[in-house]
Structures are given as C-alpha cells and as structure tokens.
Structure 1
Amino acid sequence: MARDLVLVGAPTSAGSYAPGQEAAPRVLRELGLIERLTAAGRRVRDAGDGPLQVWAPDPQHPRAQNVEAAVRAVKAVADRVAAALAEDADVLVVGGNCTVALGVMAALTASDPDAGLLYIDRHFDLNTPESTHEGALDWMGLAHGLDLPGAAEPLAAAFARRPLLAPDQLHLLGVDPGEATAWEQEQAARLGLRWGSHTDLATAPGPEVTRALGALPSGALAVHLDVDVLDFTDAPLAESTGGRNSGPTLDALSEVLDTACRDPRFRVLSICELNPARAAGDLSVLHRFIAGLQHALRAIP
C-alpha cells in the first residue's frame, strides 16, 4: 500500500529576484492538485503553508537579500516535512524558491543521515553573497547547504547539522554550464560534484536519471525540481525566462520525475521557482504540469 502523501506549501519569494513564486502553492491547489493526486490513488493530507513572504528590496543586506525571512521559511518547511516523515508519509513541497531544499534536507537527514538529494536545476546554485553581486538567495541554496566560504551565516547555521550536506549526497541534473559563474565552476570541480547537463537531460532523460539515482547513497531520497530546467518555450513556468529552446520538454521531465519518484528510497519531492504568471498566455501548461505530478506520485498497486 502506498504511503500517505502530505502536501506542504512554502509560499515565499523572499530569496528571489522578484515576486511571483509565492503564488505557486495557492494556484496549484486552486487548479485541482490535491484532487488529481487523490484520483491517482494517494491519500493526501494538506499540512498547510509556511509564512507567506513576498519579495521586496532589502537595501540593508544587498548581497543576501531577505536572509532572515528565508531562514524562517526553510525552518517552517523543515518542521512540516519532519512531522510528515515521523508519520511515515511521503511529502510534496510546493515552493517558493530553491532555498526550500535546505528545509527538506534538514528534516530528511535528521531521520536518515545517509539521505541523498537529486537536484534538478539549470543552475549549480553554488553562489554566495561574496561570489556574486545580485543578492538573490535562490541560486545560492546548495552553497549554504555545503557551507561554502562566503556563505551567509544565518542561513548556513540555520540547522543542527553543519554543513547540512556532503558532496557525495548530491547529484545534479539539467545543469547548463554556460549559466554558471566562474566561482560555481571552481567549487563544483573542487568538491567533485556529480552532475549532468541540460542537453543530456533533454536528449536522454531516462538514462540520465537512472545514472544519477545509481550514484546516490542508499538512504532516503529527496528529489528537488527547479522548473527553470525546462525549455521555457515548451513550458513557460519558471521565474527565470532564460531557458528558451534548450533543456528538457515537460514530457521529458515528467519521465524523469516518474522514474525518480518510483525509486524505493523516495520520500520527498520539492517543486520550486514556479511563477504562475508566466503561464498567463498558455494556462494549459499548468494543467500539464499537474498531470505530470499526478503520474509521478500515483499509487502503484
């Protein structure tokens, strides 16, 4: 029998470049996410949302904007995910920006120190407030999980375990190396991070995800998805609009999620950087996205 599935909302864009992602949990619920998951044979419990946070400029912390708010948001995620795991449920987290993954892994590693993270994202997310001037924490999440030099202290120190993650707990899929800063390239090489490219994920999604899953630890598995990995012309969903005519289609990504969520180690799927306003010209893409989640998280007799 399939485990219960707990839905956790993380309606925050505090660590983003601009508002938008905070609306994703509400919009996906309104479009029938829970009903579709229930129709797929899962018993779904809605654990509600963490704090609603809408991005605003933070001139007091220009290189780590809204860091205190981001810490509150990821701690709220950690608390809700931990409660669901304690009840032996699987979890779907809808963010929000990519710092949400830190809250997921704080909860998962507390119950299973050997947990692994499949990180599907166009970016390495290895920047720190010292390596880039832009100040948006949503492409700095893994840097803080790995406690890289120059990380913002409140976020790097937010959890009981520091560093929260070790390099061998990670495998990244869908990375566009052309989008990486020089710092990120240096850190990925120094740490020996395992990753696959956005081109490979687009052309061979099945082999790519199988290879990545085979390299992760034997403990519990979290899957993190930043929707900017998608070809924006096929699926205009992401806060970032740069991934045009490159990266996987939504159909290819759905194949990846289906394989990852069928893995016996799977416990948590987090969805981030989805800005519903991007789909205003093609609302069907939101329904297609929900259908992909429904298929990936369906109960298997």
Structure 2
Amino acid sequence: MTTVPLGLLGVPSSAAAHAPGLERAPAALRAAGFVDALAAAGRDVVDHGDTSVARWRHDAPARTVPHDVVRVADVLQEARAAVLGVLAAGHVPLVLGGECTVTLAVLAAAADAGRDLGVVYVDGGQDLHLPTDHPDEPIADSMGVAHALDLPGAHDTLAGLGPRRPLLTPDRLAFVGYADEEEDVHGLVPAARFPASVLVVDPVAVADRAVRVAGPDGFVVHLDVDVLDFLALPLADVPTYGRGLTPPVLGRLLRSLVRADGFAGLVVVEANPDRDDDAGTHLRTLVGLLADALAAER
C-alpha cells in the first residue's frame, strides 16, 4: 500500500444529477470529520480545497440530452485541471463529489499527466446509458462510463473531454457490486463484471480479481454510495432498496482495493446530505468506513 500523501479535492456539483443536493457533499463530509478521521488512521492528507459549487438547474428553455450538458462539461473541465494539480503535487487523488461524472474528469487529468489507469467501478449501476437510448431520462450521471468509453451515440462534449478519445477501454474496466440489471444492452462493453450477488460471498476475492484491470500506472476506484442498501446506510442520492451491500461488506472490499498494488486514487460520489438524519449519524458512518479502508498499514 502506498504511503504517498492523499490529495483531498472536493467537486461540489449536482449539475449532472437528478436534482440538487449533491453539491453539498464535500463540505458535509469534511464537517463530519473526514480529514481528522484520516489523520487518526495514520494517513497524511493535503487538502486541495474545492472546485466551484455547481447546483443543479433546470436547463430551459433549450432541452439538451444529456441535460445541461455544456455546464456539466464546464464543471468537469475545472475538476480536470484541479485533479491534474493534485497529480502534479505527487499526491494520490481522493476526490469527493458530487455526482458520478466526476470520474470522467479524473480520467482526463490522468491522461493529461501521461498515466494509463484502469477503473474499478464500485456502483449500484454501470452508468452505460446513452443519450440516444434515454431521451426520456437525459441525466448525465447515469451516462459517465458510456462517455468514458466513447460508445456510439455518446455526446461529443463529454466523450471528448480529455486529451484522447476514448478515455477508457473495456479491458481496463471492472464493474463491482452493481444490483441493477445489465446495462450493456448493445453488447459493446466486454468488461469484467462482479455483481452484488457475487461480491457478498467473498469481497476480498472479488477485489483480487477486479484489480487485474489495472493499467501500467495502476487503477482508480470509483465509489458510488448507491452500491449500499439504502436501508443499511441511507445516503445515496438514488436509493437501492434490499439489493445493495451492507457497510461491512463494502468496507472489506475497499480495504482490499486500497491495499492492492497499483491503487492510484479514490473517487467518492452520490452521498446526498439531505438523506442524513438530524444528528449527522450516517455521514459519520460513511466517514468511518472510508477512513478505515484508507488507514495506513501498521
């Protein structure tokens, strides 16, 4: 496991989400003691601050698919530059979203830095929706992976975000923990897949297999908290009921991923502070889970 300092960066955006709320997540996680918890876990953390706050808005009168796509791209370009600064400082990116599209910015920044990374996509879904297939639900945070892969029908503004196109290839991608139905409806994405039903049997074994998608420069972990059963930890912007992971299972998975050779960053998205109780119990639980996974080996 690396001992390089973690470079904490917030991307407080709900621009690509279903509704407002996610833009408050980075500040809420800091307020829940995230930095102190990481320090108590033995990790050096350098806080790189936040990009500009971008709250969801109604893109009217012009309706675009994906919704408000130009603004979403502007948010991601600012995040791309900020992540590149984290990499230039020699820190391991620890990026707090916001919504799922932020992983596009991380991949673009890695490509800017000449890095070839795989992605372990720990998420309740696979985010393979395409604008042409979903004009009735034109929300970009369910389309991030489709645009990273530059699938046919992807929007040029997002698929062309970085210095190369595509930003990711299927052999560098593992979907882990999803409970939704298979989203690769066109059969275009022969990636590694480990659904929740497989993961719960042996999270450590799944982690060992998933990290084989690492590139020459390792892999980044994308974590959408909707991979958790909402009734076990109610934070996800779009809840998963009865089919998601429990916090202990997710914790074992993350600890194994973080300690694997090639771990090169973590992106945490889709924790909506509006879901928490008045005492902030659930955000503190998430902070504890993440800090334990990222803890320095003793």
Question: Which interval holds the TM-score relative to the shorter structure?
Answer: over 0.9
- Aligned equivalent of 1:126: 128
Equivalenced residue count is: 295
Whole-Å separation in 2 of the counterparts to 1:282 and 1:211: 38
Code of the residue aligned with 1:144 in structure 2: it is H
Provide the secondary structure at the position in 1 that maps to 2:4.
coil
Structure 2: where are the runs of 5+ without partners?
A: none
How many angstroms apart in 2 are the aligned matches of 1:62 and 1:86? 35
The aligned runs of 1:267-282 (5 Å cut-off) are 267-280=264-277
Residue in structure 2 matched with residue 206 of structure 1 by the alignment? 204
The one-letter code matched in structure 2 to 1:291 is G
Q: Which segment is superposed worse, 120-129 or 55-64? A: 55-64
Structure 2 counterpart of 1:224: 222
Counterpart of 2:91 in structure 1 is 89
Describe how 1:17-56 pairs up with structure 2 within 5 A: 17-56=18-57
Percent identity over the alignment is: 36
Deviation at 1:204, TM superposition (A): 2.4
CA contact (8 A) 2:21 2:272 kept: yes
- C-alpha distance in structure 2 between counterparts of 1:16 and 1:58, whole Å: 12
Q: Is the 8 A contact 1:121 1:175 kept in 2?
A: yes
Report which stretch shifted further, 287-296 or 276-285. Answer: 276-285
Contact 2:108 2:161 in 1 (8 A): no
Separation in 2, partners of 1:153, 1:64:
11
Letter in structure 1 aligned against 2:228 = L
Q: How does 1:1-301 map to 2 (within 5 A)?
A: 2-59=3-60, 60-132=62-134, 133-178=136-181, 180=182, 184-187=183-186, 189-241=187-239, 243-280=240-277, 283-301=280-298
Q: What is the identity, as a one-letter code, of the residue corresponding to 2:138? A: G
Letter in 1 for 2:190: G
Displacement of 1:5 in angstroms is 1.1
22-31 or 274-283, which moves further after superposition? 274-283
Indicate the SS of the match to 1:213.
helix
> TM-score w.r.t. structure 1 length?
0.93
List, as ranges, runs of 4+ consecutive aligned residues in structure 1 with deviation greater than 4 Å. Answer: none
Q: Distance in 2 between matches of 1:220 and 1:290?
A: 25
CA distance in 2, matches of 1:218, 1:94: 25
Secondary structure in structure 2 of the residue aligned to 1:143: helix
Q: Distance in 1 between matches of 2:12 and 2:105?
A: 14
- What secondary structure sits across from 1:260 in the alignment? helix
Are 1:104 and 1:268, in contact at CA under 8 Å, matched by a contact in 2? Answer: no
Amino acid paired to 1:275:
N
Q: What amino acid maps onto 2:94 in structure 1?
A: L
- Conserved 8 A contact 1:227-1:237: yes
Shift of 1:281: 6.2
CA contact (8 A) 1:117 1:224 kept: yes
Structure 1 gap ranges (5+): none
The DSSP-based 3-state class of the residue aligned with 1:144 is helix
TM-score of the pair, normalised by structure 2 = 0.94
Q: Tell me which amino acid in the other structure corresponds to 2:276.
A: A
RMSD value, Cα = 1.7
Paired letter, 2:184: Q
Q: CA, structure 1 residues 295+34, in 2 after alignment: closer, same or farther (shift >3 Å)? A: same
Distance in 2 separating the partners of 1:289 and 1:121: 15
